[in-house]
A = this chain, B = another copy of it.
Amino acid sequence: MSKKNYFIGVDFGGTSIRAGVVDRKGQVLGFEKRKTQAELGTDVVFERLAVAIERAMRAADVKAKDIGGIGIGVPGPVDQERGVVRVMVNLGKGWTNYPLADRLARRVGLPAWLENDVRVGALGEYHHGAGQGLSDMVAVFVGTGIGGGIILNGELRTGFRGGAGEVGHTVVNGDDGVTGATGQPGTVEGMAGRAGLERQIKEAIAAGQKSVVPDLMQSVGSGRLTSRVIVEALKVGDVPMQKALANAQLALGRCAGNLMNVLDPEMIVFGGGVTARLGDRFVAPIRKIAQEHYVAKSEARRIKIVPGALKDLAGVVGASVAARKYL
């Protein structure tokens, strides 16, 4: 565990790169956000990443010698021993087995540590967000995919093969016809992930319902069903969007109930773009459904189900925690 006072946290996503210089209290002292532009290839994206870090350092006005290293949350599995990205589906094939930690360390002059983005977000919420001071916490991040970070007795549960926390691929409605990434019907991600929401809206439109979602996807979503598109559609009372979101909340509520029954954690934190924008408006129905599914009815309210406190900064803050803990 590094004794330096500052750490850089990077949230390396398919759409944007966020970099921040973070102190030991989780305060972000300097910050830079850039588009990823994954379509330009690994060399360009790597350079954009490095420049984002340099700009965040300049903005923070902190000396490089006081920075303990760089933590990077990436959207995919990593080989931490070798500092290698195994695969990042949303960023293209060029990133398979990419030695990101070494290259970044050489480019920026600081040691670097890779971690999966969901786990980094969980670390952020646990150490500096909604879960501060607790022993156990499960974080569920809802976006294109749905992933979870499980913290038990203060430590991230990585699992026997390093695969723990794949809550999006759990089945909550097995006889339903919708299949997710595992090829199985009724997964949480199949209902509540971005592709699941889009499918439901397309079906509603095909069935003759009106929706502003396709127009919003073009005007504010760069062709995608971003969290901004979702929130704008809800603002104007778009019925297909409302129904798709309610179905997502049902799947997520069952998922949270299952996590309560299996793990009995102190808290389940929801994060991701939609949660960051809607807060408890998004989480309240999930909480209600989860509590209905909990076996010990009289104690269902003791397990807190809340929106994350760090919003869009969970990844940056959490990546800095990973650097602090593991470098």
The residues of A with any CB-CB pair to B shorter than 8 Å are: 135-136, 148, 150, 152, 157-167, 169-176, 181-184, 186, 250-251, 254, 257-259, 261-266, 292-297, 299, 302-303
Which has the most chain B C-beta neighbours within 10 Å: A164, A257, A295?
A295
B163-A157 in contact (CB<8A) = no
* 5 more A-B residue pairs beyond the given contacts A148-B262, A152-B157, A169-B293, with a C-beta to C-beta distance below 8 A: A160-B264, A161-B302, A170-B258, A172-B172, A262-B263
Rounded to whole angstroms, the CA-CA distance of A263 and B167 in the bound complex is: 9
A264–B159 contact, CB under 8 A?
A: yes
Beta-carbon contact of A164 and B262 below 8 Å:
yes
Minimum CB–CB distance from A270 to chain B (whole Å) comes to 16
Nearest residue, chain B, Cβ from A158:
B264
Q: List residues of chain B with CB within 8 A of the CB of A148.
A: 262
State which of B174, B265, B293 has its C-beta within 8 Å of the C-beta of A184. Answer: B293
CA gap between A264 and B169 in the complex, in Å: 12
**A165: B residues at CB distance < 8 A:** 262, 264
**Which residues of chain B come closer than 8 Å to A264, judged between CB atoms?**
158-166
Closest to A176 in B: B175
How many protomers of this protein does the assembly include? 2
- Shortest CB distance A239–B (Å): 21
Contact between A163 and B296, CB atoms less than 8 A apart: yes
List chain B residues, Cβ under 8 A from A160: 135-136, 264-266, 302-303
Q: How far is the CA of A265 from the CA of B181 in the complex (A)?
A: 21
Assess the B172–A261 pair: CB atoms within 8 A: no
Q: List 11 A-B contacts (CB under 8 A).
A: A150-B262, A161-B299, A162-B264, A169-B293, A172-B174, A173-B186, A182-B294, A182-B295, A183-B292, A184-B293, A262-B263
Task: Tell me the minimal C-beta distance from A246 to chain B in angstroms.
Answer: 14
Contact A257 B171 (CB under 8 A): yes
Residues of B within 8 A of A263 (CB): 150, 157, 159, 164, 262
Which of A258, A299, A302 has most B Cβ within 10 Å?
Answer: A258
Q: How far is the CB of A141 from chain B (nearest CB, A)?
A: 14
Instruction: List, in ascending order, chain B residues with CB within 8 A of A296's CB.
Output: 161, 163
**Cα-based distance from A295 to B258 in the complex (angstroms):** 18
4 residue pairs, one from A and one from B, having the closest CB atoms: A159-B264, A164-B264, A166-B261, A170-B258
Q: Which of B174, B176, B265 contacts A250 (CB 8 A)?
A: B174
Taken together as a complex, chains A and B put the C-alpha atoms of A27 and B175 apart, in Å, by 44
Is B261 in contact with A167, judged by CB distance below 8 angstroms?
yes
- Which of B170, B173, B250 contacts A261, CB < 8 Å? B170
A254 to B176, CA, bound (A): 13
- Complex contacts, A170 vs chain B, CB 8 Å: 257-258, 261-262
CA–CA, A251 and B175, complex, Å: 10
- From A255, which residue of chain B is reached at the shortest CB distance? B171
A200 smallest CB distance to B (angstroms): 15
**Bound CA span A163–B136, Å:** 13
Q: A162 CA to B135 CA in the complex, in Å?
A: 14
User: Which chain B positions have C-beta within 8 A of A166?
Assistant: 261-262, 264, 295
